[in-house]
């Protein structure tokens, strides 16, 4: 296999918790605590999990929007964390991001033309070329180039998200991070935007890191899926395997919790309803992070943290009840 576009190893993002009398550090939130991912060229890798699992923080660390506390982020063969600021910034030009809310992503006082052309202004592209490029970008995302002179409030939510997509394409990126990019859209608009994202990828060959809590959307768009829980990876692998033959009980619970839009199928299911809430990332369980909610946990799960290891299904899962290979080497069976 050729060199992946992005390779992240052992990524950690820890935030200090301050408090107490003198505002000193009283603890650490391990928002991301050991995270590996590889994204090939033209590939879509999805990051799924519930709120607080660290999926957006992992995405933000890759984008350089939060500081990584450890690990390696190798993009185009270079470790971003070992480069100086300007080098890092130059490489990160090939990364773009699309957030959930197209309203706050666009400056209400700027025309669509200005917003879409902004990355080009920064690159010093001359006005006439820029204008032509913006018109082209608007056409590519299915907008009328005449809308270039409009303001965001004159557009619908779906149109605004198209503008955001057009802007992210302006610098011809190699990786686009979509952080809940379709979550705020109405159902009828969401499928339009998903179709657009898939079409653009076929056309331009860039990669997506697709962060989403919506598993039916992820199932549709992703080549590979990474399931996160409490800052670590519970399971990852090809989308087919993860969705059809989940190994980790958390993946199974997550899939089982999505109500199917088919009353017969939905009511025939015996859903696996998890008890309780996510534990606090300030004080995560010592052993398996999922142990407090896991329906199949054993005594050893409380003390020993499983490692992410290959399963017989072509995936990797961090659960030693289901996957014996997940037992750390220094722990006897």
Q: Which residues bind other proteins (CB under 8 A)?
A: 50-51, 156-159, 186-192, 194-195, 198-199, 213, 215-217, 219-221, 239-240, 243, 253-267, 271, 273-274, 276-278
Least distance (Å) between residue 151 CB and other proteins:
15
Nearer to other proteins, 264 or 329 (CB): 264
Nearer to other proteins, 51 or 86 (CB): 51
Q: Give Cβ neighbours of residue 198 (< 8 Å, ≥ 6 apart).
A: 221
Q: How many helices (H) and strands (E) does the chain have?
A: 11, 13
Torsion, CA 241, CA 245, CA 250, CA 253, rounded to 10: 120
Least distance (Å) between residue 137 CB and other proteins:
20
Cα(128)–Cα(130) distance, rounded to whole angstroms? 5
β 207-211/175-179 pair status: parallel
Least distance (Å) between residue 135 CB and other proteins:
21
Nearer to other proteins, 48 or 98 (CB): 48
CA distances to 98, 132, 196, 203, 241 from 179, in Å: 6, 29, 16, 21, 23
Within 10 Å of residue 191's Cβ, how many Cβ atoms?
14
Q: Indicate if the alpha-carbon torsion angle 249, 253, 254, 256 is positive or negative.
A: positive
Nearer to other proteins, 131 or 213 (CB): 213
Least distance (Å) between residue 278 CB and other proteins:
8
Cα(54)–Cα(133) distance, rounded to whole angstroms? 36
Torsion, CA 157, CA 43, CA 87, CA 104, rounded to 10: 10
Least distance (Å) between residue 284 CB and other proteins:
15
Least distance (Å) between residue 131 CB and other proteins:
26
Q: Give Cβ neighbours of residue 102 (< 8 Å, ≥ 6 apart).
A: 152, 157, 160, 161, 163, 164, 184
Nearer to other proteins, 81 or 194 (CB): 194
Nearer to other proteins, 176 or 274 (CB): 274
β 95-98/175-179 pair status: parallel
Least distance (Å) between residue 277 CB and other proteins:
5
Rg (the chain; Cα; Å): 21
Nearer to other proteins, 70 or 157 (CB): 157
């Amino acid at each position: 296999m050729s060199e992946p576009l992005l390779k992240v190893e052992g990524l950690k993002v820890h935030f200090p918790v301050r408090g107490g009398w003198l505002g000193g550090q009283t603890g650490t939130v391990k928002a991301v605590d050991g995270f590996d991912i590889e994204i090939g060229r033209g590939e879509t890798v999805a990051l799924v999990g519930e709120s607080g699992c660290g999926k957006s923080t992992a995405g933000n660390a890759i984008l350089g929007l939060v500081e990584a506390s450890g690990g390696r982020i190798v993009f185009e063969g270079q470790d971003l964390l070992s480069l100086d600021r300007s080098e890092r910034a130059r490489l990160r030009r090939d990364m773009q991001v699309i957030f959930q809310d197209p309203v706050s992503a666009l400056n209400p006082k700027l025309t669509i033309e200005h917003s879409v052309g902004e990355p080009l202004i920064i690159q010093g592209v001359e006005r006439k070329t820029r204008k032509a490029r913006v018109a082209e970008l608007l056409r590519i995302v299915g907008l009328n180039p005449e809308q270039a002179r409009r303001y965001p409030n004159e557009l619908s939510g779906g149109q605004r998200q198209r503008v955001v997509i057009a802007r992210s394409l302006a610098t011809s990126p190699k990786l686009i991070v979509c952080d809940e990019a379709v979550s705020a859209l109405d159902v009828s608009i969401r499928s339009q935007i998903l179709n657009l994202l898939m079409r653009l990828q076929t056309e331009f060959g860039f990669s997506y890191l697709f962060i989403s809590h919506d598993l039916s959307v992820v199932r549709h768009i992703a080549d590979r899926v990474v399931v996160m829980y409490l800052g670590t990876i519970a399971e990852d692998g090809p989308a087919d395997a993860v969705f059809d033959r989940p190994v980790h009980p958390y993946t199974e619970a997550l899939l089982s919790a999505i109500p199917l839009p088919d009353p017969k199928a939905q009511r025939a299911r015996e859903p696996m309803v998890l008890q309780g809430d996510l534990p606090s990332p300030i004080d995560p369980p010592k052993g398996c992070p999922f142990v407090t909610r896991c329906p199949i946990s054993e005594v050893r799960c409380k003390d020993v943290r499983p490692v992410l290891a290959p399963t017989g299904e072509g995936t990797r899962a961090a659960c030693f009840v289901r996957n014996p290979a997940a037992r750390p080497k220094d722990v006897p069976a």
